[in-house]
Amino acid sequence: MKIVTKKEIQHISFLSRLKLSEEEIVKYEQQLENILEYMSKLKEVNTENVEPISHAVLLLKDKIILNTNYREDVAVDSKLQKEILSNAPESLNTYFKVEKVIE
C-alpha cells in the first residue's frame, strides 16, 4: 500500500519552492515512503514505562560527562541582511514576506 503519492511529492516540492525532475520525484517518493514505513514501526515499540525527556542528550547523562554550558543567546546585527533578503522571492523592509498559511 502506498503511503506517499506522486501528487503529494509534487505538492511538497511546490511548497518548498523546489523544481524536481521526474526522476527526483520518483526517488524522493520512495525515500519518503521508506521513512514513513520506519516511523510506523516505531509505533509498535512499547514505551509504557519510559519517562519522557526534553532532550536526547539527557539519555547519556550517566554514561559521559556532558558540558551543558551553552553560550548566552545574544542578538547581534548581521552584516549579511541585504544579501540574505536578496535571495528571497519577496521581502518587506527587513523581513521575508510569505503567504499566509493559517486560515
11-48 tens-digit pLDDT: 999 999 999 999 999 999 999 999 999 988 888 889 88
Determine the number of helices (DSSP H) and then strands (DSSP E) in the chain. 3, 2
Q: Per the structure block, which three cell numbers stand in for 78?
A: 548581521
Half-sphere exposure of 73 (CA within 13 A, CB side): 0
The C-alpha R_g of the chain, in whole angstroms, comes to: 21
Report the alpha-carbon distance of residue 94 to residue 37 in Å, rounded. Answer: 41
What is the value of pTM for the model shown? 0.46
